[in-house]
Structure 1
């Protein structure tokens, strides 16, 4: 899947999404924690940020409040145009939609929505919620599995649709394939995939997978984002560019079942916005063509009667 098309699926696209962006959805493990990045336009650098839950958008935590919350915390990093929300000790009832929100002087605040699903545990295969790296950098992904699959073949698959993903590397073949490698550690019930020299085109959905044999294989997905290096001085007022390049290490795990680390920046938004409009135009064109075809088929099946003479309908 093209990396930018993937990002269209990845970003939330509600009103205000041009001003604030986050991931469209995430999975997290019960009892674990997750850190969500909320990227914003620089005009909101000094604004109050907050985090809401549910369709009623109930505020949970705000950057202008000193009230302590052991389960949810928020921190703003105006230097990199991002604020972070960390949720801890997750339970299944935490499964819901959440909102990155920013107070404005306008009639409505700006926001972006995220769909969070807390997994109950007992998964056959599981991994991080998401990971990120800078262009030219590398990322190492741990893929955990149930002990019953100690001696099964493991593989790394790329693509949004599980049934159609492309297998990139397997444990029963050469462990190194170009800039990619896979190693299995049955004693620790984990196999590890390393991707090096990452480019923007590598941004996509990936799957940690275990080969079962006669039945369907098991897999766990995660998005891997390769962000561009952005010169902060080039980000000007009213631009649609995303956040500047972070000073974090090149490879960062976005969250784990036993802790979390700060996420890194997403790619620039200008190209994404252009592509978004292009994709919408393409979808509109396709829908129009489909409607025309259906109309033509309907007219062929239901001829028009004119002067007692049956004539096919003209399209």
Structure 2
């Protein structure tokens, strides 16, 4: 009776497992050299965005152990709820870390999960890349080298997306695979912001995840800012020129008015002056007009505060010197 109950529970477990294949998507098999780190992306459905995520280790799902609870310093998890991908980073791996892992989402009843196999070796891994995190620029291209020594079919895929075997495109990005010694190269051209995401190299059942980040082209941004700064500089220069021209016009007008008013004031007759000094007055008027600065000093003109003058009954008023359209 007990044996029948165990078989019944096992049957239910496998039924739920088979019907849950699309809830979480990740790589199948990954190889890494010891003392290195590995990042595993786990894609999940949008309905599980707020559910807790964890990594489980063990051959049997029901008996696996939460790695975060056993060794929290060994594993870190980051959840990108916008892209619906949580990434698991296993640090400083050793051969004892080899085995079956499960990308898991905690749900009341039956947790959602997807297994992957991790193989840690002392020698060179069967499939590896130079960098798992690669950055490119919008409109440019990037090259990823996938190293392997097998004759198995090779391809480049986006997680939960399309794959390319030789030449093709993924989300509008041109993809080309070319052979190289002990592996193949992936060239992604005409990058757009939509090219950002997780991909993987594949050689047979071996896979290696790679994250592509596409940024704005700094050269284009610098050119735009250069144009903006140039326009601002031009506008500033034009404003300075207009201001200087206006200031010069004000000064010229004021000096001209002062000379005219001074000349009128000096030409008025002085009843207290002797008749025989007429010739000297004409000579003095000529000298004053030819040397306006000395004339201003002789006649008591205060240049700083523009006070009114009184000379021989004549008056020079401050209001007369005002420019009708500017103030200096």
- TM-score normalised per structure 2: 0.40
Bigger relative contact order, structure 1 or 2, given CA contacts below 8 A and separation 6+?
A: 1
Pick the structure with more helix per residue.
2
- TM-score normalised per structure 1: 0.42
